Amino acid sequence: MKSAPRPFYARTRFLFISLIVLVVYGYGWKITGIDLGEIVRGAPMIRPLVVNLLSPDLIRYEKKSEIKEAFFVLEDQGGFPGVSSAKVRDTSLTVVPSLGKVGDKVVVRGKDLPADREGNLMWINSIEQEYPLATFKTNSAGEFELEVVVPQTARGEEQTLRAAVFWETGEWSMSPTLKLVAEKMVETIFLALMATSFAFVVAAPLSFLAAKNLMWKGPVRKSLYLFIRTLFNILRSIEPLILAILFAVWVGIGPFAGVLALGVHSIATLGKLFSEQIETIDPGPIEAITATGASALQVAWFAVVPQVTASFLALTFYRWDINVRMSTIIGFVGGGGIGFLLQQWINLLQYNQAGTALLSIALVVITLDLTSAWIRQCMALKE
């Protein structure tokens, strides 16, 4: 006996669904302007940025310097040697002749400098305008000799020639950037901590009012349940970035605005998560304590709280971890923390400093993630 033929829609359903999917993704590809070739063509442009970001400013090698000065008088200014007797001339650096005009050649000799070191020779006019003349390297006796031309920037009667030698001592220390990043990273961690703590204090009691198994009894409780749930959904729908802009205008730019922005958003998020945990508890203890004539508050304290304490704490630690990451973004709009510094360095194209901030953020987030996972594991074992 032959089976009945499949209906037309059943035979063409796969083709029809495939066609819809192709149309949706084709339109999505077009409207989002996806161009995979641009990734390859733009790679050379991003390379310097990536190199700088991967070269964070972490340490500074200590440097020492030795500076020698000599003086030169411009002849066409009516000067003559010795007019500036108030200045003490250092015989370690001499210029011959010490009197002349723009374009003349002079010989500069230096001695008593560190041996086998590179240095710079600068011409400084009477208004302290510097002009680089040449570079030099001292010999084994700490001496050098150069022939230079009096530059066009020579203005005023008396000029200064300055020979400067710099060298690394081998010692190192934390860079100013790293010190500043460490300070702001501590601020970021505590910003997230205060926001999370504030959210926990508010969200924990509200979550009991948003738990359906506790509140879906009678019109008053149902109305309160729907109101709290709606409030959580509205607050969760507003991005922390928008809240940060609002609070930055309200209380001013700084970490307090970030605490409020993350705190308000975390109240809604933790409130929803906490209420869902309450809805999954064992109803047995609730029924037993209710049967004794206990009040609603007593039922919540003795039947619900013991069952959700561990999960509440685990979710709170996890939220703290999230808030540390989110605080980086809200710093871009005045929410304080490391994000504010990161925005400034990016705007100033100081990508080495920005790389230092990104490295610190990654290390802190990884550390908090591992710590949070360890705490949740310990709580799970105790259960």
**CA 162, chain centre distance (Å):** 40
Place 80 in a pLDDT band, splitting at 50, 70 and 90.
Answer: very low
Give me the chain's average pLDDT, please: 86
Length of the chain: 383
Which residues in the chain are classed under CATH 2.60.40?
62-172
pLDDT value of residue 83: 44
pLDDT value of residue 382: 65
Section 100-120 average pLDDT? 89
Is it the case that residue 85 has pLDDT exceeding 50?
Answer: no
Per-residue HEC secondary structure of 171-193 comes to EEEECHHHHHHHHHHHHHHHHHH
State how far the alpha carbon of 164 is from the alpha carbons of 108, 122, 140, 228, in Å: 13, 8, 17, 71
**Separation between Cα atoms, residue 363 and residue 208, nearest integer Å:** 36
Q: Report yes or no: 258 and 330 within 8 Å, Cβ to Cβ.
A: yes
Helix (H, G, I), strand (E, B) or coil at 218: coil
Is it the case that residue 11 has pLDDT exceeding 70?
Answer: no
Which residues in the chain are classed under CATH 1.10.3720.10?
176-382
In this structure, is the dihedral angle defined by the CA atoms of residues 193, 196, 202 and 207, taken in order, positive or negative? negative
Section 151-159 average pLDDT? 83
User: Which residue in the block uniquely carries the two structure tokens 């949740």?
Assistant: 376
Cβ partners under 8 Å of residue 9, min gap 6? 16
Section 107-115 average pLDDT? 89
Report the percent of the chain where pLDDT is more than 70: 92
Q: Whole-model pTM?
A: 0.70
Cβ partners under 8 Å of residue 323, min gap 6? 191, 192, 195, 196, 262, 266
**Separation between Cα atoms, residue 200 and residue 316, nearest integer Å:** 7
Section 36-52 average pLDDT? 86
CATH class for the region spanning 62-172: mainly beta
Between residues 374 and 1, which one has the greater pLDDT?
374
Torsion of CA 110, 111, 114, 119, to 10 degrees: 0
CATH number for region 176-382:
1.10.3720.10
Query: For residue 267, which amino acid is it?
Result: I
Query: For residue 171, which amino acid is it?
Result: E
